[in-house]
Amino acid sequence: MNTTIRPSIRFERLFIIALLLLLATPIFPQLLKIASIAFFIVICLSDFIKNKPSFKWSFFLFNAGLYLVYLFSVLYSENMDYSFKKLEVSASLILFPLCFAMASQSLIEKGINKIKLLFITYIASVLLVNILLVIGFLNSGFSWTEFIEYSPYVNRLENYPGIHSLYLSMHNAVSIIMVFYLLRTERFLKTGILLFIFGFLLGIGLILLLKKGPIFALLVVATLLSIRYKLIRIWAFYGVFIASLCSLFIAFPSSVDRFNQLLKMEKVNTDKDSAQIQEVVLSCAKIEMEQAGIFGYGIGDGKAHLIDCYGDVDQDLVSSSYNSHNQYISLILMVGFFGLFVFLASLFYNVMNAVRNGVFITIALILFYAIAMFSENLLERQEGVIYFALFLNLLYFLNKNNQQKVRRNPNQEELLKHIIDE
């Protein structure tokens, strides 16, 4: 019997393995993360060279458009060293669109057909990170009643897993959105209950971190997902998350003060409170955006102009290199209103594709990131931009034929309809 694996089948298997490694990277150390991305690039490039599929030009130009604008802005940036550093950090914005544009459609279909496995891999890896950090927190002498110190503890860790609390919050929130999606298809008393437990634990981890942007964005998206899917098991999961958040406030009233800062700037070493910091940042941002023009100051100089403006008001903000804490403002400063338009056009392109294909999970994740970007510069650190670019490009290819089919219980539907009518 001939057991030789055909090249196409070999590529398919390697492609799926590469995707699984990418979705497992939250638990990987930095070098292994880089190796996983490099492996994915090699597989896609090898497939393109060997099978010569058509290059997806429109997909590439839309999804890599912002990075192409970044490259153009280098021509008028003054700080070249910082420009190239920013290009390196943002490389995922062009690498992932390039890889998916090169890969054959059949290869991508094989990978996207494993969407359930891919999501579970990501959820499990994020959950493992949370478990490791919580164990380390408790072993450091803290008790559960001191959970308000958990986020600073995470940020102080320099060694593995070495993830900032903001980006751990982002991972938790995105994983919970994936749990919502998978719960559509799973019977609660079978695999659904395991997903429910995973989602609950991730929710606890998110609450412990109490980061403003991810929590607010998740609340909006989770509400919309619950309304959209109209399933009892999803409403139950949503209810447990809301109840957990409320229970936290009741059990630990001091956490209310932290949550009240949800739409305010994070504190730095200054005598100003969050509201005053926000006022300074927005005031300087308004001045600099008016002068940035259509093309901005360049990728290497946008933040520098903002910091220079701080110098007239608060030297503490200058010494801490305080950024805009708003991705849209940052884009205007770096690449102007033209760059912002290109970025929004990319999001619109992906949303319209998801609408045509009837894929609400893609819209939900884009909406989550779009909301979170009002309070964080997610595209300017690798831990944020890698996963934004990965999910944006991967989920573009999810459609009615390859996404998980909803399993509905007729009795549940009648009960839900009765509840809504009441």
For the stretch 84-107, pLDDT in tens is 999 999 999 999 999 999 999 999
**Average pLDDT score over the chain:** 85
Distance CA 221, CA 371 (A): 9
Query: What value does the mean pLDDT take over residues 185-204?
Result: 82
Q: Across residues 152-173, what is the average pLDDT? A: 90
Number of CB atoms found within 10 A of residue 71's CB: 14
What is the per-residue pLDDT across 52-82, written as a single tens digit (0 to 9) for each?
999 999 999 999 999 999 999 999 999 999 9
Rg, Å, the chain Cα set: 22
Confidence (pLDDT) at 419: 43
Q: In this model, does residue 28 exceed pLDDT 50?
A: yes
**Secondary structure, 3-state, 87-131:** HHHCCHHHHHHHHHHHCCHHHHHHHHCCHHHHHHHHHHHHHHHHH
55 DSSP assignment: P
- Please report the pLDDT score of residue 4 as a whole number: 44
276: Cβ–Cβ under 8 A, 6 or more apart, which residues?
Answer: none
Tell me what the mean pLDDT of segment 299-317 comes to. 78
Per-residue pLDDT tens digits for 222-278: 999 999 888 888 888 889 888 877 777 676 666 655 555 544 555 554 555 566 777
